[in-house]
Amino acid sequence: MVSKPSIHVIWQNTVYPWWWKVAYLILHENFGDLVTNPVDEAFGRAINAHVNAYLNKGTMPPTEIAATVMNLADDVMAGRKMTIRAGDYIAVQNYMKKTAAGK
């Protein structure tokens, strides 16, 4: 059994810190180029289930999120901290929304 992953979304060079100062009418904190955000519990549970199923039972993940799940599984196998890029996060959220809607 894979332990519950600590998942973080990481942006790479997609956030421009100066925007925080001009976007709206009050000063904003600067953000670095690399931003880490915790993901919500439901998202973590869903990813955890797919990564576990893939690693422990050899169950292939759904096509839409297969690359993401396998990348995360690689992180687990290599002992790295699991990370997910913004684009993969969006893809998984879209998949979750689609399945929740029964599409």
Q: Nearest approach, Cβ of 90 to another protein (angstroms)?
A: 6
Q: Which is nearer to another protein, 42 or 77 (CB)?
A: 42
Q: Are 96 and 43 in contact (CB under 8 A)?
A: yes
DSSP letter for 17, please: T
Q: Cα 55 to chain center, whole Å?
A: 18
Q: Nearest approach, Cβ of 9 to another protein (angstroms)?
A: 7
Q: Nearest approach, Cβ of 55 to another protein (angstroms)?
A: 26
Q: Which is nearer to another protein, 27 or 78 (CB)?
A: 27
User: Which residues would be at the binding site for another protein (CB under 8 A)?
Assistant: 9, 11, 14-28, 31, 37, 40, 43, 85-87, 90, 93-94, 97
Whole-number Å distance between alpha carbons of 75 and 84:
10
Q: Which is nearer to another protein, 78 or 100 (CB)?
A: 100
Within 8 A by CB and 6+ apart from 1, the residues are 52, 56
